[in-house]
Amino acid sequence: MTTLPTFSLLEARVLGVLIEKEKTVPDTYPLSVNTLTLGCNQKTARDPVMSATEAEVLQAIDSLKDYALIIESSGGRVMRYAHNARRAFKLPEQSVALLAVLMLRGPQTAGELRTNCDRLHPFGDISSVEAFLEELSGADTPWVVKLPKLPGSREHRWAHLLCGPVDVEIFNTTSKTTYRNSDELTELHADVARLNEEVATLRATVEKIQKELGM
């Protein structure tokens, strides 16, 4: 039987960012603590929005090392960090992608997860997303949980359990449901998230060039 770790919100955010950036900014991966902190504090594609310091992110990294989830390497004058989630969790890439998006964006429907996972692992259809979610929820020690439907909602949302049991009442707010069920707003936020990732890539590239020039 697998025993799940219980992460803090920041530890889950750090791990989720590392999994995400491995796919979205491969040229600048592994990440420096500065770039990792920027990823943790993004204002879009994150729920909840955080304002973590580099010191707090480093502390989260140290905690994740205890679970063999962090690979540390030296890149010039700074340390760089990558994740080891697939091997440590013994899960397929599809499941790790779903967990990462849940850690980054909070509870989501299968349809939202399919859209938001597209750059990490493209799922062919919603049924394939649901199949992996059911597998994760049906494990001896579940990784995810299906939340009760909200009033007026047609779909269940899913939440990860890496930060411990989920308090369903926290997520039962009408405004959040309306926000998340808007296809137009979801697409807009996806566009903004892509732009933010491009900016982060440019920043990391400049940082890399500065290191090479010894600046």
Domain coordinates of the chain in residue numbers?
Answer: 9-87+205-213, 92-191
This prediction's pTM? 0.79
- Does residue 77 carry a pLDDT above 90? no
Helices assigned H by DSSP within the chain:
9-24, 33-40, 54-65, 85-89, 93-105, 110-116, 126-137, 168-171, 174-180, 183-213
pLDDT of residue 25 exceeding 90: yes
The count of C-alpha atoms lying within 13 angstroms of the C-alpha of 16, restricted to the half-sphere facing its C-beta, is 30
- Among candidates 18, 26, 35, which has minimal Cα distance to 211? 35
Bigger pLDDT: 159 vs 140: 159
Q: How many CB atoms lie within 10 A of CB 52?
A: 17
Mean pLDDT over 184-206 rounds to 60
Helix (H, G, I), strand (E, B) or coil at 80: strand
Residue appearing with tokens 């926000």: 179
- Look at residue 1 and tell me whether its pLDDT is greater than 80: no
- Cβ neighbour number for residue 96 with a 10 Å cutoff: 20
What's the mean per-residue pLDDT of the chain?
A: 86
As beta bridge partners, residue 70 has 83
CB of 52 closer than 8 Å to CB of 185: no
CATH for 92-191 is 1.10.10.10
Please state, in angstroms and rounded to a whole number, the distance separating the CA atoms of residues 10 and 7. Answer: 8
CA dist., res. 38 & res. 20, Å (int):
13
Dump pLDDT digits (tens) for 142-158.
Answer: 999 999 988 888 899 99
- Report yes or no: 31 and 39 within 8 Å, Cβ to Cβ: yes
Question: Which distant-in-sequence residues (6+ apart) come within 8 Å of 102 by Cβ?
Answer: 108, 113, 144, 158, 159, 160
Predicted confidence at residue 186, as pLDDT, reads 44
Inform me whether the pLDDT recorded for 193 exceeds 80. no
Residue 82: CB atoms within 10 Å:
17
Residue (of 46, 22, 196, 23) closest to 108 by Cα position? 46
Whether 92-191 and 9-87+205-213 are alike in CATH topology: the answer is: yes
Residue 190: which pLDDT band, with cuts at 50, 70 and 90? low
Q: Is 155 helix (H, G, I), strand (E, B) or coil?
A: coil
Weakest-pLDDT range from 2-6, 96-100, 153-157, 167-171:
167-171
What CATH topology corresponds to 9-87+205-213? Arc Repressor Mutant, subunit A (1.10.10)
